[in-house]
A = this chain, B = another copy of it.
Amino acid sequence: MADFSRRRLLGGGAAVLGAVGLGAAGAGVAVATRVSERMGANTVEPHGVHQAGIDTEPQAFATFVALDLRPDVDRAGVIGVMKVWAEDTRRLTQGVAALGDTEPELAVDPARLTVTVGYGSAAFDASASAAARPTWLRPLPSFDIDRLEDRWSGGDLLLQVCADDPVTVSHAVRTLTKSVRSRASVRWVQRGFRHAVGTRPDGLTMRNLMGQVDGTVNPQPATPDFDRQVWNAGEPAWLAGGTSLVLRRIRMELDTWDELDRPAKDLVMGRRQSDGAPLTGTAEHDDADFEMVDDHGIPVIPPESHVARARPRSADEQFLRRAYNYDDDGAGLLFAAYQGDVDRQFVPVQKRLAEHDALNTWTTPVGSAVFLIPPGYGPDGYPGDALLEN
C-alpha cells in the first residue's frame, strides 16, 4: 500500500512532475502540459489522477483499437503489456520516439496526442483479477434495434488514441500495437474524425454526418457534474478516478434520412438542425421544455423525439459523450460514452431509446463494446497498476 500511495501521489498532479529522464535513450521529456504556437507541438500530460483523453478537449482524430490477449498471457503478461504501453505513452505524447521506434521521424509532432487504455472483461480473467471485476464490465444487454457485427464488437483490451494530426495517430497506433504483438493481437480498428483544428471558430459543438449538432448536453471538465458522472468514486475502491467506455458504432441510414424534409428531421430530433436549439428554445444551450404545448395542446417537443427519450429520468442517467464521425464501411458515429457505472448510468438510457426513439428508423447499432478505463497513473506506474499491484 505504501507503494500504491506513493504512485497515486506522484500521479496526482502535474505540479509535482518535472523533467523525467528516460534512461538509456537519454532524452529529456518535460511532462507538463504545453501549448505551442504550432499546433503539432502541443502536448497533453499523460500522468495524473485520471487517464488523459477523457476530460481532454476532444482532438480532431480518434482511433479505437480493440485487442485480444493471446491464450497464454497471464497476470505477468498483462502487466508487461501495460508497462510497455505506459512507456510508449510517456514518450509519444511528448514528441519523443518510442524505444525501438522504427519511424522516429513520425513521432516528433504529438499534436495533443493522448493514449487511453481500457480493460475488457477477459483481461480480468487473464490477470487473475476476476474477483475485482465490476459487475457492469460485460457486453450490454441485447436490444431489438441492434444489428451487431463481431468485427466491430468486444475485445480484451482497448487503445483509444487521439490527436489533432492523423499521421501522429497512425504512427502511435502502429507503435503501440507492434510493441505488444507477442501478447495481444488486433481484433478491430475504428477510425473517427471531427473538424480539423482551425476549420471552425473555437468552442463550437461538433456536427455529425447527419448534419446535427452533437454533444450539446455534456458536462464540462473539472466541474462537480463532470466528476460525478464520469469518474468512478471507488466502487470497487481501486477504481477511484477511473471510468468506463461504452463504444457503439452507429450506422446512419443517410439515404432514407435525406428523404425527410427539414421540419420532419427537427421533429425527429426535438432540436433544430440549423443551430442545435431545442424546439422550445432559441439557442443551442437553452434547456428543453418538455411541458410546452402549441395552440392545439400538442407538445412542441414530441415525446417520441430523440431528445425527449434520451432525457435523463434521474441524476444517475447522465454520462459524457465524446463521439467521432466515421465514413469508411458506411457512415455514422463512433458513439463513445464515459461513465463511472455502466449499469446505473448508461443502460437505462439505452434501454429507453431502444424501446422507442423516433431516430431509430435512421440509425442502426452495428458494433458495441464495453471497457473499464483504469484510473490515471504516475511516472513509475501503468494503466491498471492500482488493480494489479495492490
The interface of chain A, by Cβ under 8 A from chain B, is 38-40, 60-61, 102-106, 109, 111, 164-168, 170-171, 173-174, 178, 189, 191, 193-201, 207, 209-211, 254-255, 257-258, 273-274, 325, 327-328, 331
Contacts and interface: CB of A to CB of B under 8 A. Distances in A.
8 contacts: A60-B196, A102-B258, A103-B210, A105-B207, A105-B211, A165-B196, A170-B193, A170-B209
A198 B195 contact: no
B327 A199 contact: no
B274 A195 contact: no
A196 B103 contact: no
A198 B40 contact: yes
Contact of A211 (B40, B104, B191, B254): B104
Contacts of A327: 170, 173-174, 191
Contact of A167 (B164, B166, B191, B195): B195
Task: Please state the number of chain copies in the assembly.
Answer: 2
Contacts of A255: 178
Contacts of A207: 105-106, 167
Given A106-B207, A209-B170, A165 B195 contact: yes
B191 A166 contact: no
Contacts of A258: 102, 178
A196 B105 contact: no
Given A170-B327, A174-B327, 15 more contacts: A38-B200, A38-B201, A39-B197, A39-B199, A40-B195, A40-B198, A102-B211, A105-B211, A106-B209, A109-B199, A164-B196, A170-B209, A178-B258, A191-B327, A198-B198
Contacts of A61: 196
The 4 A-B pairs at the shortest CB distance, nearest first, are namely: A103-B211, A40-B199, A39-B198, A102-B258
For A109, A111, A170, A198, the residue with the greatest tally of chain B CB atoms inside 10 Å of its CB is A198
